[in-house]
């Protein structure tokens, strides 16, 4: 199962991807933006970077998980 997780409820923005490939059954990648409150600038580029690294497309994601905060 390929799962993209997005965390934007705190001052830092982070994105994680858990994915399965034929030769590697379970992989996890993670990125965090260390610049405080820059979510609108950094979120989509971080998602694109993780997808490129994993050689996946958005269509290959089974689930997108998001945090829900204050």
Higher pLDDT, 58 or 11: 58
| Maximum CA extent, the chain | 40
pLDDT tens by residue, 6-27? 998 888 899 999 998 777 777 9
**70 — pLDDT class (breaks 50, 70, 90):** low
Query: Number of helices (H) and strands (E), helices first, in the chain?
Result: 1, 4
pLDDT tens by residue, 23-52? 777 799 999 998 877 788 899 999 999 999
Nearest by Cα to 17 from 38, 36, 7: 7
Q: Give dist(CA 21, CA 26) in Å, integer.
A: 7
List of E strands, 1-70: 3-7, 13-19, 27-33, 63-66
Measured in degrees and rounded to the nearest 5, phi and psi for residue 5 equal -115, 135
């Amino acid at each position: 199962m390929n799962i993209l997780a997005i965390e934007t409820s705190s001052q830092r923005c982070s994105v994680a991807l858990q994915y399965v490939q034929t030769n590697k059954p379970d992989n996890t990648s993670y990125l965090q933006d260390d610049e405080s409150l820059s979510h609108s600038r950094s979120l989509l580029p971080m998602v694109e970077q993780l997808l490129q690294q994993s050689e996946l497309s958005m269509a290959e994601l089974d689930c997108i998980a998001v945090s829900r905060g204050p």
